[in-house]
Amino acid sequence: MSGMAPASILILLIATACAALAHVLLGRAWRQLPIFWLAAVVGCLITYGLGLRFPLNLPTPAGVPILESVLAAWLLLIFVSRLRV
């Protein structure tokens, strides 16, 4: 039996942490939590899929650029929080 790839687990963990913190800071209703989570996942996947990286020599566990993924997730989270959902 094979489990999930380490990169996908790390992306889900980053997205979940970002979405939870964004909901605490920016959320107004519980129905926003799944929307925040989806936005954070999309931000992390875009960064990972396109291979976006700053020209810094930062570690990338499982090939996931942590700093870039967190920043992309937060950009989408701030955008989504400003929508009237």
Per-residue model confidence as pLDDT tens digits over 19-46: 999 999 988 889 999 999 999 999 999 9
Confidence of residue 13 (pLDDT cuts 50, 70, 90): very high
- The token duo for 76 is 């989408």
Domain boundaries, the chain: 8-82
pTM for the structure as a whole:
0.89
- The token duo for 83 is 């929508």
Asked if 63 contacts 7 with a C-beta cutoff of 8 angstroms, the reply is yes
> What is the per-residue pLDDT for 4?
83
